[in-house]
Structure 1
Amino acid sequence: MSEDYNKKTNENKIEGRNAVLEAFRSGKPVDKLFVLDGCQDGPVRTIIREARKHDTIIQFVEKERLHQLSETGRHQGVIAYTASYEYAEVEDMLALAKERGEDPFLVLLDGIEDPHNLGAIIRTANLAGAHGVIIPKRRAVGLTATVAKTSAGALNYTPVAKVTNLVKTMEELKKEGLWFVCADMGGEKMYDLNLKGPIGLVIGNEGEGVSRLVKETCDYVASIPMHGDIDSLNASVAAGVLAYEIVRQRMA
């Protein structure tokens, strides 16, 4: 993950065995757990068991790495990073669309690592009338304080779900009538595609784009016309351009 955990704000960091265990047992969403490699203490084993129960990403690291991450110097072999906001369920997004009497419009992010990009995309999703944003658990940034700040308040109104398997989630949503379009340079010009109806817009990783399996699961691949001297747009800008083409077609 490209985001440096050392630079995260303290409000997302929980250190020490009792504090981390209490975070899990209280139901607080924990994005990632760092554990001292080789530590077999009973309390640490209990924490690891709780983390697996909640499908939290666990990373076993050397003592020096924990010392680097620690703000207090009293981590006791465990440091957890929690989400600044509660995650929603995908079902909540479909219910929101139904409540508004609209075709579902979801934004799916395939490995966005920059918290500023994620925050900007959530902001755009809200303004474009999307019913929610779906992100994967692995190799992607979660709902940090930076994401919340960059979203300019949109995180209070736009549900964000975190799923274990993006492809499986897409396949389940197809059964609900959604179809998917991803942004990729090799696709059809976006203006030539019919982007109406229940839709999921898929935006790929900042450097590598949409992964192969996710791209193969999409129904359409859309390219954004570009006439400059560089060959790609920032991920959040690409999301905005395509989201508003969907808005334009829906309004028409």
Structure 2
Amino acid sequence: MLFEGNISVKAALLSPFREVTKILVDQDKKDRDTNYILRKANEQNIPIEYTTRESIDEITTGKTHGGLVAYIEDRTYQNIEDYTKNSTFFAVVEGIEDPYNFGYVLRSLYAAGCNAVITSNRNWSNAANVVAKASAGASEYLPHICTEHFSETLSTLKENNIQIICSMRDDSAIELYDYDFTQPVCICIGGEKRGLSKDILQASDQNVYIPYNSDFRNALNAVSATTILAFEIVRQRKA
């Protein structure tokens, strides 16, 4: 599997969840960021092959690699039990099919200080390069927990006094800004097509919605909703 470009390759090198097996670099590529990446690769005893830009073009899907690619192994996934004791910000992401959107969601969550993201067992490995690029490398740093049963995983969170908060507008929902996010929480975000599944909604301790300042009737996309929710947590905890 290939990662393309400085941001993705650097993230894979610095990630505790991914192994890089080889780096290919344009022999004419000279810049500070690339030098840093190659130095880190040498520190990890990762083979580096200096080649031509044309040779790299032949093995990549596009021309956005910037003269640097890395061969990588599949990433490892984490266990919920390893994070419940010392973490206060989780996020369930469900029903997002597009790898670009998934990457954008991870970028917002990581920037906001999320401790771990929880998804179903969908295999994202075939789209790992796209997700890494879209997330600006955040996918490689953010702990990722895969589960076959959301209900069991959310029960584990509840047992550790972590509140389950669903982004869902219904009769029980309150405005996002009226909820106390200073306590440990897991926010749950669903895709635009199907929203959140029954298992997740049944586990919810509180549904919240994002109030609008207009008469707009449609939902925000998952990326926008995630960003608003995540940075409301940041705002309240900094305050």
Question: Are 1:200 and 2:186 an aligned pair?
Answer: yes
Q: How much has 1:105 moved relative to structure 2?
A: 0.5
Correspondences of 1:207-246 after superposition (within 5 Å): 207-226=193-212, 227=214, 229-246=216-233
Moved more, 109-118 or 161-170: 109-118
Unaligned runs of 5+ in 1: 1-9, 13-27, 29-81
Residues 141 and 185 of structure 1: is their aligned pair in 2 closer, same or farther, counting only changes over 3 Å? farther
SS at match of 1:250: helix
The amino acid that maps onto 2:104 is A
Could you say what secondary structure the match of 1:185 adopts?
coil
User: What do residues 6-64 of structure 1 show as CA deviations (whole Å, max 9, x unaligned)?
Assistant: xxxx759xxxxxxxxxxxxxxx9xxxxxxxxxxxxxxxxxxxxxxxxxxxxxxxxxxxx
User: If the length of structure 2 is used for normalisation, what is the TM-score?
Assistant: 0.64
**Worse-superposed segment, 180-189 or 226-235:** 226-235
Which residue in the other structure is 1:170 paired with?
154
Q: Assess, with a 3 A threshold, how the Cα gap between structure 1 residues 94 and 86 changes in structure 2: closer, same or farther.
A: same
Alignment of 1:129 with 2:119, yes or no, is no
Q: Distance in 1 between matches of 2:164 and 2:217?
A: 27
Offset at residue 161 of structure 1 (A): 1.1
| Distance verdict in 2 for CA 1:141–1:240, change over 3 Å | farther
Within the alignment, does 1:93 sit opposite 2:83 as a pair? yes
Deviations 1:171-192 (A, max 9, x none): 1111111111010122211111
Look up the equivalent residue of 1:237 and give its one-letter code: S
**TM-score normalised per structure 1:** 0.60
Matches of 1:83 and 1:178 in 2, distance apart? 33
Q: Distance in 2 between matches of 1:127 and 1:223?
A: 22
Trace 1:1-20 onto structure 2 (pairs within 5 A).
none
Q: How does 1:110-189 map to 2 (within 5 A)?
A: 110-137=94-121, 140=122, 142-143=124-125, 144=127, 145-186=129-170, 187-189=173-175
Q: Distance in 2 between matches of 1:83 and 1:162?
A: 18
* Cα distance between partner residues in 1 of 2:101 and 2:158: 27
Q: Secondary structure at the match of 2:84?
A: helix
Q: Is this contact kept in 1: 2:168–2:207, CA < 8 A?
A: yes
Distance 2:200 2:211 in 1: 22
Aligned pairs for 1:15-94 within 5 A:
84-94=74-84
Q: Which has the higher contact order (CA 8 A, sep 6+)?
A: 2
Cα displacement (A) at 1:248: 1.1
Between the two proteins, the alignment pairs up a number of residues equal to: 167
The answer for the alignment partner of 1:19 in structure 2 is: none
Distance 1:141 1:233, change over 3 A: farther
Do the aligned partners of 2:84 and 2:157 also contact (CA within 8 Å) in 1?
no
**CA distance in structure 2 between the partners assigned to 1:115 and 1:105 by the alignment:** 23
- Taking only the aligned residue pairs, the percentage that are identical comes to 32
Instruction: Read off the aligned partner of 1:86 and give its amino acid letter.
Output: T
Q: State whether residues 192 and 219 of structure 2, in contact with CA within 8 Å, keep that contact through their aligned partners in structure 1.
A: no
Structure 2 gap segments, 5+ residues each: 4-17, 19-71
4+ runs of 1 displaced by more than 4 Å?
A: none
Which residue number in structure 2 is paired with residue 50 of structure 1?
A: none
